[in-house]
Structure 1
Amino acid sequence: MFEQFLGPDHFDIMPHLVAIGLAYLLAFPIGWNREKSERSAGLRTFPLVAVASCGFIQAAESMTADTPEAMARIVEGLITGMGFIGGGAILRLKDSVKGTATAASLWITGAIGAAVGLGSLDVAIMLSVITVATLWIMAPLKHFGHLEQEDGSDEVRKEK
């Protein structure tokens, strides 16, 4: 049935399954950190963002194989879309801004998925490692900074 619709050589699920699985695994620790910190986006959101970004790239591969400019437009759309989603995670309160680390994490998770989809596994792994290290290692160091709120929340105070 699929052969008639797609042709004999077009239905190969394994490479896509491996790539999407890897995107999921690389995003999982980021989601775990945000979930553990009780942020607005967490364990479900981050792997889904990576999988979606990877999926968009892989779904467009056959259409953009001969035109790198077309793939560049797909990547540009992902960058813009991730910025839009991240912007929704940022809350402006009376005298502070909250959610910037979650927004940045969403954006980089989209980059991880895109890197996996494009076959740049080394870039995807490094982005994941750097993000996880930043979120986990820098959190305790934040207590020593001047931006720490009395309630321990992840907020940045506005300059007056």
Structure 2
Amino acid sequence: MADERRSGLPPEQAAGAPADRLKERIYATITMIAVVVGLSLGEAGVTGALATVLTTALGLWLAAFVADQQAHRTVHGHLATGHDLRRMLYVSSPLLSCAVGPAVMISLAALDVLSLSVALTTAAGVGIASLFAWGCVGGMRMGGGVLPAVLAGFADAVIGVAVALVKTAAGH
């Protein structure tokens, strides 16, 4: 992180920050897929589903923030401030934003635009589609062409769904 600080770049442009942020987005997406699948298998109402999605996102973010601060304090002997704190907040923000899509879908169910079951299934489907899209983007950036990119997207989506199902089965 010292090299990033010396670069004078804002946290969102510092080396490694975009990759770290994407990692958090993918992790949060997989976790949110597990949450909405778990909710779809249960008896939660609209209010309970919305509360679960929002508290999950907040809990993920707080856990990451506390872990980042603790690691920074342990390594550097002080709490992260300034550039380090801004980078930490920038990188961890997808853990909060992962709740937006499911929250919108659940809100549509609250307004009787669609059923809660359809809202949760749609939220899971959008999460899976985003894993596929990130896999395709990664495959294209590696220069393999369209077919390998689509295969990478498919593999990422399948792995993401498998992890989400394991989390759901384990009750997380």
More strand by share: 1
TM-score norm. by structure 1 comes to 0.40
Higher RCO (CA-CA < 8 Å; seq separation 6+)? 2
TM-score norm. by structure 2 comes to 0.38
More helix by share: 2
